[in-house]
Every structure is written in structure tokens, then in C-alpha cells.
Structure 1
Amino acid sequence: MMRKLLLSLAVFLMAGILVACGDEGSDSEGSSGEDSIKIIAAHNQTDPENPYQKGLLAFKEKAEAESNGKIEVEVHAGTIGTEESELVEKLKTGAADVVLVSPGFMTSTGIDQVDLFAFPYLFDSYDHWENVVTGEVGDKMANIINEESNNDFKLLGYWTAGVRHYYGKKPIKNIDDLQGMTIRTQTSGVVSDFWEEVGTVPTSVAWGELYQALQQDVVDSAENAYPYFVQQDHHQTENGKYITETAHDYTTRFLLINGNKFDKYTEEQQDIIMSAAETSVEAEWKSLHKQEEEYKGIAKEDGAKINQIDRQPFVDIAKPIQDKAAKEIGVEDLLEKIRNAK
């Protein structure tokens, strides 16, 4: 009887030890899982040499290095959405964690104030642009984005898509040369208002279809920055070979993260993500500036004709459009601060 009792006690103690070991292992795995996160980062450009890709790869490298691999970043170059509206929706639903979008597509979410950064001739140099986005106005806009979206969107940094210029079937020497020309650009909002005011007809064409539209005379012209339209060979089409450096937009792009998800990360993870974002901003700016000169040179080598123009008449048309739009969306004070930041 005693022997049976001792045997039962031994079995009981051994089971307790095994359960304890099993529990300890489960806690360890759970802790490890909580310390590791995966971030899906996406932009809408498909060219691997695009500055957007350079920036997000810098974000990935920094985040993974500083976290010793506990933060994994998966970068998507147009593979989960070539339209910015898709990326914004994925950010809201959690299908993506970090995305890059333009002011025009942010307004579709109901945050009208961001349209300020889409105003033509808002900036007259990169120094002017950088002073604004890294200063008081940049901070204010970041707060607006976060508050108006109910924390769906948190700004990680300001990127740029370069300086946008006209390119079309003929050179532009003055505003009169634009009269009646169709131009691929936004067909609503302040950008459309500007192009209508200078005499063109804003026309909607999907980015992926623009090469064919220029080649087949569907549209007379378009506007974008050198790294983007030269990478797509638009300058080699019949309606894209004349480039006039209108410099009507020193572009702003928003690097966003889902704010609600960001708030659930540990403080250490948040610090690493913000540090990686700063690195990505520097990398994207550097890549963009380098590529603007590089692709302008490629355009020349390929036979594109480039000319300068007196921009003041365009600026004079843009200013009252800016004033009206700023009043409508309630950013008159920010517009004034931008004008004073030159």
C-alpha cells in the first residue's frame, strides 16, 4: 500500500514539473512574439529605381538594424496598389502599416486642409519648401492629419516627388501657347482650377496609360517631375518631347502610419520607427535631388527639347486661386506663414 502511495506521489510531482516547464516555455514564446512586429510599407510606384523605393528601403534597413531584427519591414513597390486611394484604404483597414500618399488623395479622406500643399506656385525653391515642412507649418499639418483622421493617420515625415514641369507636343514660351491644350492633371480642386485659368483643359488619364495617351494624341501634354516621366519614357512620345520648366509645384508627399496601431507598439518600438522614418526622409530627399539632374540629362540625350520660361505670369494667376482656396478650407494663417518663410 505504501509503495503504491509513493508511486502515485512521484507521478503527481513529475506531472507538476512538466506542467510548470510547459507554462514557462509558453510565457517565453508569448513574450518573444510580443517583442517582434512586422510592418507592411507600400508606395504606388513600380520602378525599382524610384526615390520612393530608396526611401522605404532605408526605412526597412534602419528599423531592422536598430531592433536587431525584432521589427521586420516588408516593402511593396506598387504590388499591393498602384493607386494612392488603394493605399490609403489599406492603411485604414490595417492591410498596410506605412504608406506614401499625396495631398490630393488625402483630401478624399475628408481632411481638406492638406490640399494647401497642392497649391501651384506655393513654393519657389527647395530651401523654401524644406523651411516649411520642417518648421511650424509642418508640425501644424501633422497635428491636423492626426486629429481629423481620429488617429487613423499619423505623419512620420514629409517626402517630395520633385519639381513638376510641363511637357507636351510643343514648347511653351508664354501663357498664350497653352490655350486650348489638353493636359493630363487633376480634374478637380485647386490644381484643376489653376490649369483651367491658364487656358488648358485638364484631362484624366491613368498614370499607367499615359505613355500611350501621349503617343496616340489622346492628350496634348502632361506635367510631372523628371524622375517620374523620364523613367516612363514619356519624353520619347510625340506629345511629350517638349519640356518647359514651369516649376509650378515643389511637391509634398506624406509618409503615414496607422496611428491606432502605432500607439499599441512599445515605447522602444515607437522610437525605432520614428528614427527609421527620419532616415527614410534623408534618403528619399537625397535620391530625388540626384535623380532630377540625372533624368534631366537622360531626357536631353534622348532628344527632348528643354526650355525656360518667365514664371511670374503663372505666379500672378496662382496667387488669387491660393487665396480663395485657403479661405475655403480654413488655412489662411498657414498660407501666410508659408509666404513669409521664403
Structure 2
Amino acid sequence: MKKLLSLSFVLLLVLSVVLAGCGSEGETGEGSESPGKIKLIAAHNQTSPDNPYQVGLLKFKEVVESKSGGNIEVEVHAGTIGTEESELVEKLKLGAADVVLVSPGFMTQTGVKEVDLFALPYLFDNYEHWEQVVDGEVGEEVASIVNEKSNNDFKIVGYWSAGVRHFYGKNQIETMDDLKGMTIRTQTSGVVSDYWKQTGAIPTSVAWGELYQALQQNVVDSSENSYPYFVQQNHHKTGNGKFITETGHDYTTRFLLVNGNEFDSYTQEQQDIIMEAADASVQAEREALYAQEDEYKEIAITDGAEIKEIDTAPFVELAEPLQEQAAKDMGAEELLQKIKDLK
């Protein structure tokens, strides 16, 4: 009987050790399915599945999951966890999102004022100039500033574009005088707002998801954006969006961000995979955007929109002193000069 009890005790002890080992194997994090497995929430604020943002994040997902052998899962959200960039920035900071797309204007709200340099009207001459800036020394310097001033809450892992922005409204613009007294949906603070005020327009705040209705119901007279974005949302089909003037005032910059503190907690292999996927997403998003600009311009024409090209020289002339003053206020005069030197 004693031998039988001793044997039972030994078997019970062995079984408990085995179970304990099985339980600890997957406990690398709450909800982990296997050792080292992580899940990333990637989000942007556009709701159209055809948007270049979606193309870019799907490429990010594809590369991450392929290179990690499925040990890093990516869940992509197209406007489903926030259609306002301020929401996405807050979610990234709090850990409710891991990869997000934001514009310079919203990054300034976090206290990193230098990034607003990229929002200056008529800063870039063309896409070639823009790429030289963001993919070179200036882009690296801005990324370091963002990381340092945010205490590593935000880390730029890629520069995307939201296209070249044009004016669209209830009337064509022949000269700058045509903007006087016209309400325009755009940023209502910062360098962008200051510029439109100088033209005589009245910057007005309207949420992106509410802009179609605002244009349709005369809440605002006009707006400004790139073809893929406003045509996908049918703004050109409204009375206050039908008349497009190709002002080309902004070759836009968008930041692909991760939480730097969270990123630093990953293994070196995981970090390398994420950076490789970020690089792939940059190329995929840009290629989609460049192709869609021509495509959606043609769609707008087919749908009855009226498009006009104008001499932008007076608009550029108005922007130049504002650029200098804004750069001075930001403490980014050297950065501005480096951008101009690349023209």
C-alpha cells in the first residue's frame, strides 16, 4: 500500500510539472497564442477601401505577416477606430493602436511644432523635390525631432503622401480676389489657416466625414484636397465642390507612426521586420497615390466637374514671406533652407 501511494505521488508530481511547463510556454504576454507572438493594430482615417492609405497598410500587413511567419499579426482599420487624426494620435499614445497615419497639422497638437514646416503652402515644387526632402537628411532630422520631443511616444517609420492639393468650391478661382469672403474647409489654426486668411478666404472647421453634407447644404463654400481623396468621397458631385481650380498649393506629407516605447520593447528581429514592412508600405502607398491622381481627375471630368488651371505665381509670392516667418517661429529656419536648397 505504501509503495502504491508513493508511486501515485510521483506520478502526480510529474504531471503537475508538465502542466506547469505547458502553461508557461505561451505566457509571453496577455492573450499570447505562442511564444513571442504579437498583434498590431494599424489604422488610418479614410473610409474608402480604394484609398492609397489602405493600399499602403495592406502591404505593411502582407510583409509583416510573411516575414514573421505569422508570429506578428496585423489588423488593418480603415476609418473604423477613428475618422479624425486626433483620435488616432491619442489611441497610439494610449496603446489602443500600434501603427497610424497622421498629418503634420495634427502632430503639432502634441507639442512638436517643427513638423508644421511640411504643411507650408508651396513649399515643394513637385513630387521629385518632395521625395528628395522626406527620404533624405531633412526627413531623418524631422524624425529625430519627433521622437525626442514626444519622449519616444511617436516614432516615424515612413513618409507617405496624400497627393497634391487643389481648391474646389462653388465658383472657379480666376484671381486671388475671388477667394475674398469665401468659407473654406481647412485647418483653422497654424500655417495653413494663416495662408488662407491672407488670400481673403475664411478657414472653417468641418470633420472629414461630414464634409460632403456640409458642401451640399452650403455650410461651407469650398474645400481643398487631392483628387483621390475628394473624388472618392463624391465632393465634386455637390454644388459647392463642382468647380476645381488646380492651385497645387500643397504636396502633402503624412507620417507613418508607431509608439516608440512599444517598438523598443520588441525583439531586434521583430523591429527589423516592422521596418522592412514600413519601407514596403511607403513604396506601395506612393505608387497607388501617383496613379490615382490621374485616374480620379478623369473620373471627376466624366462626372461633370469643371477643372481650371491658373497662374499660381501670385499665390506662391504670397506664401514665401509666410514660410520664412513660420520657420522662424518654429525654430526651423535651417530646415527650411535645406528644403529650398534641394529645389
Aligned to 1:191: 192
Structure 1 residue 229: Cα displacement? 0.7
Q: Distance in 2 between matches of 1:137 and 1:9?
A: 73
Aligned to 1:21: 18
Does residue 212 of structure 1 match 2:209?
A: no
**What TM-score results when the alignment is normalised by the length of structure 2?**
0.96
Give the RMSD, CA atoms, in angstroms: 1.3
Task: List gaps (5 residues or longer) in structure 1.
Answer: none
Q: Do 2:99 and 2:258's aligned partners in 1 also have CA atoms closer than 8 Å?
A: yes
Structure 1 residue 214: Cα displacement? 1.7
Q: Distance in 1 between matches of 2:209 and 2:94?
A: 26
Q: Distance in 2 between matches of 1:17 and 1:211?
A: 67
Q: How many residues align?
A: 339
Aligned to 1:12: 9
Match runs of 1:201-280 below 5 Å: 201-280=202-281
Q: Secondary structure at the match of 2:249?
A: strand
| CA deviations over 1:146-174 (Å, ceiling 9, x no partner) | 11110111111001100000011121122
Q: Do 2:245 and 2:310's aligned partners in 1 also have CA atoms closer than 8 Å?
A: yes
AA in 2 matched with 1:131: Q
Q: Secondary structure at the match of 1:167?
A: strand
Moved more, 204-213 or 270-279: 204-213
Aligned to 1:41: 42
Structure 1 residue 108: Cα displacement? 0.6
Q: Do 2:25 and 2:35's aligned partners in 1 also have CA atoms closer than 8 Å?
A: no
Aligned to 1:285: 286
Aligned to 1:317: 318
Q: Do 2:114 and 2:330's aligned partners in 1 also have CA atoms closer than 8 Å?
A: yes
Aligned to 2:327: 326
Q: Return closer, same or farther for 1:6/1:216 CA change in 2, 3 Å cut-off.
A: closer
Q: Distance in 1 between matches of 2:6 and 2:236?
A: 85
Q: Secondary structure at the match of 2:276?
A: helix
Q: Distance in 2 between matches of 1:34 and 1:117?
A: 41
Task: List gaps (5 residues or longer) in structure 2.
Answer: none
| CA deviations over 1:166-216 (Å, ceiling 9, x no partner) | 011121122222222221111111101111111111112222222222222
Match runs of 1:60-209 below 5 Å: 60-209=61-210
Q: Do 2:84 and 2:208's aligned partners in 1 also have CA atoms closer than 8 Å?
A: no
Structure 1 residue 30: Cα displacement? 3.2
| Structure showing greater Rg | 1
Q: Distance in 2 between matches of 1:229 and 1:173?
A: 21
Q: Secondary structure at the match of 1:335?
A: helix
